[in-house]
Amino acid sequence: MDGAHRAALQLQQLPPASSADPVSEASFSYKENLIGALLAIFGHLVVSIALNLQKYCHIRLAGSKDPRAYFKTKTWWLGLFLMLLGELGVFASYAFAPLSLIVPLSAVSVIASAIIGIIFIKEKWKPKDFLRRYILSFVGCGLAIVGTYLLVTFAPNSHEKMTGENIIRHLVSWPFLLYMLVEIILFCLLLYFYKERNANNIVVILLLVALLGSMTVVTVKAVAGMLVLSIQGNLQLDYPIFYVMFVCMVATAIYQAAFLGQASQMYDSSLIASVGYILSTTVAITAGAIFYLDFLGEDVLHVCMFALGCLIAFLGVFLITRNRKKAIPFEPYISMDAMPDEGAG
C-alpha cells in the first residue's frame, strides 16, 4: 500500500507533459507562416523584376532586324535566371505556409511592378503633375502593403504534414467532393457560354482562369509539401497520389495560361491584373479552406481581420492597375503570379 501511495504522489507532482505544447506549437506555426510568407514575397518580387528586365530588353531592341536579338543580351538572360529563382521561391512557400496566406501575397507583384514602372518611365514630370498622375498608384501601394500586413498577421495557423495519406484523406472528403462537383458544373457552364454563345466578358474568361487556378494551387501545395517531406527524409514519392497531383498541376497551369492568353488579346493587361487577382484569390482561398481546412479552429476575430486584409489588398491592386495608361512608353508587367494559380508554375 505504501509503495502504491508513494507512486500516486509522484504522479500527482509531475507537471502535465502537454502544458507547453500549445505555446510551442503556436510558435512553430508562426515561424512556418513567416518562412512561407517571406519566400512568397521574395519570389513575387524577384519575378516582377525579372519580367520588367526582359520587357526592357524587348523595348530596347524593338527596331532590330533580328527578331531574337534579345537572346544575345546579358540583361534578358539575367531576367530569365531571376524569373526561375523567383518561381522556385513561390513554389517552396506553399510547403511552409497555408494556401490561404500564400495566394493573396501575389499583390507584391503588382506593388513591385507599379514602383518599377514609375522608375523606368523616361518622361520628366513637374512635382505637381507627377503627384496628380500617380496619386492612385501611391494610395494603391499603401493599401496593398497594409492589406499584406494584415494577411501575414492574421493568417490561419493550420500546419499539416503533406503526407500521401493526408492528401488522399482530404481528396475523398465529402466537403471537397461537393466543392469539386459545384466547380465542375460552373466551369462547364462558363465554358459553354464562352465557346458556344461567344460570351467574351472578361469576368467569364477570368472566372474560368480562377477555377482552374484554384486546382493549380491546391495541387502545388500538395506537390511542394510532399517534396519537402521527401527531402527531409520522409519519402513521399512512392505514393501514386504525388504523380496524380503533379499531372493535375501541370495540366491546369497550361489551360489556365491559354485562357489568360485569350483574355490578353481582348482586354487591357491592367484590367486583367486587377479582376484576375480578385477572382483568382477569392476562389483559391475558398478551395484551400475546403481542401486543407485552413480556417478550422480559427477564432472569428482572426478570420474577420484576414478577410479585411484581403479586401484592402483587393482595393489597393484595383487602384494601382486603374492608374496604368497604354500611352506609357514602358508599361510595367505583372508576373503570372499575380494570378495565384500560376504561383509555382
DSSP 27-73: HHHHHHHHHHHHHHHHHHHHHHHHHHHHHHHHHHTTT-SSTTGGGG-
Task: Tell me the CA distances in angstroms from 45 to 111, 174, 282, 334, one per residue in order.
Answer: 9, 38, 21, 10
Give the model's pLDDT for residue 296: 85
Q: Given this model, what pLDDT does residue 18 score?
A: 40
> Is the pTM higher than 0.85?
no
Going from the C-alpha of 343 to that of each of 94, 125, 249, 304, the distances in angstroms are 9, 36, 11, 25
Block residue for cell numbers 495540366: 251
Contact 341, 210 (CB under 8 A): yes
Measured between alpha carbons, how far is 275 from 260 in angstroms, rounded to an integer?
A: 12
The SS3 call for residue 275 is helix
Euclidean distance between CA atoms 34 and 96, whole angstroms: 9
Ranges of residues in the chain whose predicted pLDDT is under 50:
1, 7-25, 123, 326-345
